[in-house]
Homo-oligomer: A and B are copies of this chain.
Amino acid sequence: MKKAKKQKLFVMKFGGSSVADAEKIKRVARRVHDKQSRGIKVVVVVSAPGDMTDDLLEMADGVSKNPPERELDMLLATGEQVSIALLSMAIQDLGSDAVSLTGPQAGIYADHAHTKARITKIAPSKIHDELKKGKVVIVAGFQGLNPNQDITTLGRGGSDLTAVALAAALKADACEIYTDVKGVFTTDPRVEPEASKVDRISYDEMLELAGAGSQVMQARSIEVAKKYGVDIHVRSTFSEDEGTWIVREVEGMEDVVVSGVAFDKNQAKLSAVEIPDRPGIAAKIFGALADIHVNVDMIIQSAAQDGMNDISFTVARADLKKAVPVVDQVSRELGGQGALVDEKIAKVAVVGVGMKSHAGVAARMFRALAGQNINIEMISTSEIKVSCVVKESDCQKAVQVLHKTFGLSRKPK
């Protein structure tokens, strides 16, 4: 007896710009219909259309000085609900059977943190039932049901997270993230025109790239993909070409020393100046910042002179307003000179699993920057990444020289 070949299952995720108007929705519908016509089971995840989320937020601001988060979630969840209904209509219009499901209907459970909830569980029996009936299942991204039975949203990058988590729960063959770029690039093509698309990249590299400000996918989605071994395919909504596969590290990947150059201009440097050099100082400062939910990234403590010390670190620029007074106060309480701020910085990083086996990456990086007279203000390193803080005005020059230095301008094998 011949064993029936198991039908493949794909999760396809489309962002808000892909469903911004009727024509775009119809194009997505054709893409989904084509996939299903090739005998593949399809679960689609969509975001709210175009600017709808912003429009809804504006409406909220119109009626309330401080909109309660539960109600914001109730409001924002309508955006994805509009998308799934319209996409289901467009797909059915092409002759595929389809059904739309809100996050709660799809069995996506989340925690209590309104506007930035985490997915706690996926119970996909409804999705399985509908797939068995031969339907395309269209799920609202960005939303779930919390233990109060309230609708909650998953925060930035939430639709990617929905897609990856569903792919994991459904044991999908792949999770396709459709976007308006062709994939993951060696660096931002607007900064370095010779930037090239990466064919395959490991979760860890992608995590380091995301953390360093690369905008293709949020770190939280990649973490989930890594945990459950979900193969992600980032590709263009507007082309049939292969994009970038984000996958488990495999042999051969390390042949490429550096996979990409990332940069982040949304950071600022904060320093607590001339504070006494004694144990517990750092804990005081960073404890106070943790209390107000400010994440600190790179940290440098200068060598003590005359029993005095400077501590510098980077925070997101958006957090500066609440971070500065706290650092200033703690610093003065410790007998220091208060806080110094430098907003005109950028973080530049080279990333690659190849670093683990290739020595001297950091040295090559520093030499390349020095060759362009770029001063390095802070340095941090991980197993697969070296980051430097430079002047914001040096950022582009730094990215370009590093891109060239590590041979990224030609397509890596």
Listed in ascending order, the chain A residues whose CB lies under 8 Å from chain B are 21-22, 25-26, 29, 56, 59-60, 62-68, 70-72, 74-75, 77-78, 81-82, 84-90, 92-93, 99-100, 102, 105, 126, 149
Contact = CB atoms under 8 A, between A and B. Distances in A.
Nearest to A88: B71
Contacts of A81: 74-75, 77-78, 81
Contact of A93 (B22, B66, B89): B66
Nearest to A89: B64
A81 B92 CA distance: 25
Secondary structure at chain A's binding surface: helix, strand, loop or mixed?
helix
B82 A56 contact: yes
Contact of A100 (B71, B86, B92): B71
Contacts of A90: 63-64
Considering the complex of A and B, which 9 residue pairs feature the smallest CB-CB distances, nearest first? A22-B62, A75-B85, A64-B89, A78-B78, A74-B85, A63-B90, A64-B93, A67-B89, A71-B88
A333 to B, nearest CB: 37
Contacts of A71: 85-86, 88-89, 92, 100
A23 to B, nearest CB: 8
29 contacts: A22-B59, A22-B62, A25-B63, A26-B63, A59-B82, A60-B85, A63-B87, A63-B93, A65-B93, A66-B93, A68-B89, A70-B99, A71-B88, A71-B89, A71-B92, A72-B85, A72-B89, A74-B84, A74-B88, A74-B102, A75-B82, A77-B81, A78-B78, A78-B81, A78-B82, A78-B85, A81-B81, A105-B149, A126-B149
